Amino acid sequence: MPSLPLDSSESLVSPPARARYLRSLRQLPQLSAGEQRELERVTREYAFRVSDYYLDLIDWSDPNDPIRRLIIPQLGELNEWGQLDASNEKAITVAKGVQHKYPHTVLLLCNEVCGGYCRYCFRKRLFMNDADETTRDVSEGIRYIAANPNVTNVLLTGGDPLMMSSRHLADIIGRLRAIPHVRIIRIGSKMPAFDPHRLLEDELLHTCLRKYSTARKRIYLMAHFDHPRELTDAAIDCIDAFIRDGVICVNQCPLLRGINDDPVVLSDLFRELSFIGCPPYYLFQGRPTAGNEPFRVPIVRAWFIFRDALRIGSGLARRARFVMSHATGKIELVGVDSRYIYARYHRAHDPALRGQFLRYERNDEAYWLDELTPAGDPAPAADEFPDTGAADGPE
């Protein structure tokens, strides 16, 4: 029988080989032997891992290349700064690998591996030798969620859930879908940036997503692109595949010095994300996590970068909220003038703080909420602003 003619859109090129993962700087010929030795001081403290696909995105002729800064260790990580658990996730951990901070949302930390280790990761403690906070056996978390009918949202995170075998992921999602009150399942992942081909070729993953992302109970991909150069053709195809599976895609990322702390870069990222159907959701002020000093952008500068980035693009490219994941809640930065910094609780652990407006003395050096001084007048309570939409009502 004659073979069927190929449609012009079909490729004659074989699919790319599976990405290779590297865990030692000695595997990077782009670094001199001296650089490898010097930077191993960093990797003895904070784990290193990268795919060869992602390495190929680096412009090695530029020592300040943003993709390089994101994934290749630097000595500044050893500067004394911050804490390993900067927003005290320990305090909201209700069982091993289970975090419950806001009434409707539970986090399951179900994997301790990522496709690469972002140098600025706020959970880098999970990748350290004595880490014991994640669990691939989510039975306890599933029991906890089943017993709490308020929980409508579950976020699978870690580590990266899309680094798990799809069989294991499908098992977790299937068990969550058996709990009637769980409406939204979110998957937090940087795999579309680190290794999109792996996701594109994973038929079982797509079968699972198509089965469990339904008209009334969606799966969301909380993608994590930090820089427009991560949006390669393969990454865009990967987002397209998720959308075709019925998954809603949005993006969240931190503001990072030397990576995306530029209104032009950030607006390019936001616009491209809106074009591909993965609009920006949160831009985070990076947590003051140990090892992350090289990525520090003070609040006031960060606010103006964010504001200027939002001046370009359609409404869909401007949907991000600029937030700080503080131990007390998710605080949205809403403005800066010559005297004050304005914020409000977008989410709060303590019900009394929900929707609370905040005003601080402007401090151009401050990085985190705890470094700010509240302005003299007490901030108005949420109920004086009935239209904030910020309180945690039923979902």
Contacts of residue 266, defined as CB under 8 A and 6 or more positions apart, other chains included, come to 255, 260, 283, 305, 306, 309
Nearer of residues 160 and 230 to ligand SF4, judged by Cβ: 160
Nearer of residues 190 and 349 to ligand SF4, judged by Cβ: 190
Nearer of residues 193 and 266 to ligand SF4, judged by Cβ: 193
Classify the phi-psi angles of 384: left when phi > 0, otherwise alpha if psi is within -120 to 50, otherwise beta.
alpha
Nearer of residues 24 and 214 to ligand SF4, judged by Cβ: 24
CB of 157 to ligand SF4, least distance (A): 7
Nearer of residues 159 and 280 to ligand SF4, judged by Cβ: 159
Residues of span 60-119 touching ligand SF4 by CB under 6 A:
114, 117-118
Q: Which residue has tokens 């880490």?
A: 131
Sole binder of ligand SF4 in the list 85, 133, 160, 392 (CB under 6 A): 160
Residues 377 and 124: their CA atoms lie apart, in Å, by: 39
Site string (115-154) toward ligand SF4, x via CB under 6 A: --xx--x-x-------------------------------
Pairing state between β 153-158 and 105-111:
parallel
Size of the site for ligand SF4 (CB under 6 A): 9
337 close to 362: Cβ distance less than 8 angstroms: yes
CB of 171 to ligand SF4, least distance (A): 21
CB of 234 to ligand SF4, least distance (A): 17
Going from the C-alpha of 123 to that of each of 84, 135, 167, the distances in angstroms are: 7, 15, 25
93-95: strand order across its sheet = 93-95, 98-102, 105-111, 153-158, 184-189, 219-223, 248-255, 280-285, 321-326, 329-336, 340-348, 357-361
- Should residue 21 be labelled a site residue for ligand SF4 when binding is judged by CB under 6 A? no
DSSP 8-state secondary structure symbol assigned to residue 83 = B
Which of 156, 116, 114, 112 has the alpha carbon at shortest distance from 135? 112
Nearer of residues 186 and 190 to ligand SF4, judged by Cβ: 190
Residues 253 and 251: their CA atoms lie apart, in Å, by: 7
- Should residue 296 be labelled a site residue for ligand SF4 when binding is judged by CB under 6 A? no
DSSP 8-state secondary structure symbol assigned to residue 375 = P
Residues of span 240-269 touching ligand SF4 by CB under 6 A:
none
CB of 158 to ligand SF4, least distance (A): 6
CB of 159 to ligand SF4, least distance (A): 6
Residues of span 165-194 touching ligand SF4 by CB under 6 A:
190
Nearer of residues 197 and 224 to ligand SF4, judged by Cβ: 224
Contacts to ligand SF4 by CB under 6 A: 114, 117-118, 121, 123, 159-160, 190, 224
